[in-house]
Chain A
Amino acid sequence: MPQLNIVQAINDALKTEMRRDPTVLVMGEDVGVNGGVFRVTENLYKEFGPDRSIDTPLSEAGIVGTAIGMALNGLKPVAEIQFDGFLSPAFDQIISHAARIRWRSRGRFHVPLVIRAPYGGGIRGPELHSESPEAHYAHTPGLKVVIPSNPYDAKGLLIAAIRDPDPVIYLEPKRLYRAFRAEVPEEDYIVPIGKARVAREGSDVTVIAWGAMMPIALRAAEKMAARNVSVEVIDLRTIVPVDVETVIESVKKTGRVVIVHEAPKTCGFGAELAALVNDKTFEYLKAPIMRVTGPDTIIPQARLEDYYLPDVGRCLRGIERVLNY
């Protein structure tokens, strides 16, 4: 089985679906001739030509607006927004239109659109290149939000997203793009949207993370294992719809929860998870839920991001805090 990194796995997913289904196409800034700023769409232009690998102007609202029209008329566009911070210019198209057309038309129309965006910090980016805006889309009815943490899931979730009849915001943890390789099957397969994965089993504490926080959470779990603390790590994989059953099952066993995310804390998705856990497993909790998150400020540029992003040390302190309560 080939060993692929996340970029290659996403490229493979796109190629697989574009070969299988002639209505699938990619579009975005430099995704065609150039092959994408991160090389995610490399060679799609050569294989599928300019009609299915479309270079667009630098206009995010235009990209998503055009893609909505395509999706309404029988195509399955996979639109790339080059960086997380450039989702904001397309916000109106996403929130006011893509997310609403099924509802607005009482189910007569739907928008099978995937919006791919490299997201999150860790690459020493300039401003608007390191954001984690998943909470904005999680709060918006009518959207699915998917965030893979490894090459296998990246391919399977992207194929599932393309086949989904409704708009999916697919956020790719850019710092993991080339961080490691994993076995990725050549054929097509899906990882279902809405299913979390228990990445490591444990019995003392549940750590919930997604995207680029997963390797950090797993390293923290390893370090705790050396201290005889058994940490269960859940990779959420899908933010909306959230797999609350997997979370509840774990919390019933451990009674202690740490949530790790990059985004600012206030009204981040960690807040919703904490609220859900409190709602469903209140009597099982042995300690308050700990959120290890970005602080409530804008993620700083370049090296200063080290002080912003949760790291193994901060995860360990979070775990210790719920253990010592």
Chain B
Amino acid sequence: MPHMTLVQAINDALKTEMRRDPTVLVMGEDVGVNGGVFRATEGLYQEFGPDRAIDTPLAESGIIGTAIGMALNGLKPVAEIQFDGFLPPAFDQIVSHAARIRWRSRGRFHVPLVIRVPYGGGIRALEHHSEAPEAYYVHTPGLKVVIPSNPYDAKGLLIAAIRDPDPVIFFEPKRLYRAFRQEVPEGDYTVPIGKAHIVREGTDVTVISWGAMVRICLQALDQLEGVSVELVDVRTLAPLDIETVLKSVSKTGRAVIVQEAPRTCSVSSELTALITERLLLHLQAPVVRVTGYDTHIPYLTMEQYYLPDAGRVKKGIEKVLSF
């Protein structure tokens, strides 16, 4: 089985679906001739031509608006927004249109659209290039939000997203694009949307995370001794596989949530609310949140003071254990 990086797995998923289904296409800034700023769409222009690997102007609102029209008319566009911080110019198209058309038409129309976005910090970038905006989209009814943490899931989840009849925001943890390789099957397969994955089983504490933070959590776990930690990679934030989370926390009685995004009104808030709503009597300590701060993620080397690292995750685990 080939060993792939996350970016290669995404490229493979796109190629696999574009070969299988002639209505699938990619579009975005520099995704065609150039092959994408992170090389995620490399070779697609050569194989599928300019009608299915479409270079667009630098206009995110135009990319998504056009893609919605395509999706409504029988195509399956996979639109790339080049960086997380460039999603806000397309926000109105996503929130006011893509997310609403099934509802607005009482199910007569639907929008099979995937919006791929490199997301999150860890690459020492400049402003608007390191954001973790998943909470905006999780709070918006009508959208699915998917965040893989490894090459295998990236390919399977992206294929599932392309086959989904409704809009999916597909966030790709950019700091993991080339961080490691993993066995990725060649043919097509899906990882179902809405299913969390237990990365490591344990009995004392449940750590819940997604995207690039899953690896940070694994680093923390490797540094901890004498504690049995269960690590849950939620993989999909909307819909959230709350059953897997609750099953784990009802066993451990302690939960730590780790995310990059600012804390206030984030997915960690929702997870905390759900866990305490359903499992108050199982909890042996308040849920601990290890998150970015309520400020903008700083540039370059300053980001290391912002992003949760193994040390902060360990402190979170120690806090929930010592309550």
Contacts and interface: CB of A to CB of B under 8 A. Distances in A.
A85 B97 CA distance: 11
B270 A267 contact: yes
A263 B136 CA distance: 13
A68 B142 CA distance: 31
Interface string B129-140: 000000110111
B266 A267 contact: yes
B190 interface: no
Given A141-B294, A288-B280, A289-B276, A296 B265 contact: no
Contacts of A282: 283, 285-286
Interface string B73-107: 00000000000010011011001100110011000
Interface string A52-85: 0000000000000000000000000000000001
Contact of B139 (A91, A136, A287, A297): A136
Contact of A298 (B91, B100, B238, B264): B100
B128 A275 contact: no
B286 A279 contact: yes
B206 to A, nearest CB: 15
Interface in A134-174: 135-136, 138-142
B27 interface: no
Contact of A267 (B89, B135, B280): B135
B267 A267 contact: yes
Contacts of B138: 266-267
A167 to B, nearest CB: 13
A271 B142 contact: no
B264 A95 contact: no
Given A275-B273, A298-B142, A127 B100 contact: yes
A296 B264 CA distance: 19
Contacts of A272: 264-266, 269
B276 A274 contact: yes
B222 interface: no
A142 B131 CA distance: 14
A275 B91 contact: no
B276 A141 contact: no
Contacts of B178: none
Contacts of A140: 262
Interface string A268-282: 111110110011001
A289 B277 contact: yes
Nearest to A259: B273
A272 B139 CA distance: 12
A278 B287 contact: yes
Interface residues of B, number: 46
Interface string A281-309: 01001011111000011100000000000
Interface residues of A, number: 45
B296 A141 contact: yes
A85 B96 contact: yes
Given A267-B267, A274-B269, A285 B280 contact: yes
Most chain B CB inside 10 Å of its own CB: which residue of A275, A290, A296, A297: A275
A278 B127 CA distance: 34
A88 B272 contact: no
A180 interface: no
Contacts of A176: none
Contacts of B141: 264, 296-298
Contacts of B287: 275, 278-279
B139 A268 contact: yes
B295 interface: yes
A223 to B, nearest CB: 24
B264 A240 contact: yes
B96 A88 contact: yes
B88 A91 contact: yes
Interface in A200-221: none
A272 B272 CA distance: 8
Given A141-B296, A274-B276, A100 B264 contact: no
A266 B139 contact: yes
B110 interface: no
B265 A269 contact: yes
A92 interface: yes
A89 interface: yes
A264 B264 CA distance: 16
A267 B265 contact: yes
A287 B276 CA distance: 9
A136 B87 CA distance: 14
B272 A271 contact: yes
B278 interface: yes
Contacts of B96: 85, 88-89, 128
The 8 closest A-B pairs by CB, nearest first: A274-B273, A275-B272, A92-B88, A267-B139, A282-B286, A88-B92, A91-B91, A271-B269
5 contacts: A139-B261, A140-B262, A141-B296, A266-B270, A285-B280
Given A88-B91, A268-B265, A274-B269, 18 more contacts: A85-B96, A136-B136, A141-B293, A141-B296, A142-B295, A263-B139, A266-B238, A267-B267, A267-B270, A269-B265, A272-B264, A278-B272, A279-B287, A279-B289, A282-B285, A288-B277, A289-B277, A298-B100
Interface of A: 85, 88-89, 91-92, 95-96, 99-100, 103-104, 127-128, 135-136, 138-142, 240, 242, 263-264, 266-272, 274-275, 278-279, 282, 285, 287-291, 296-298
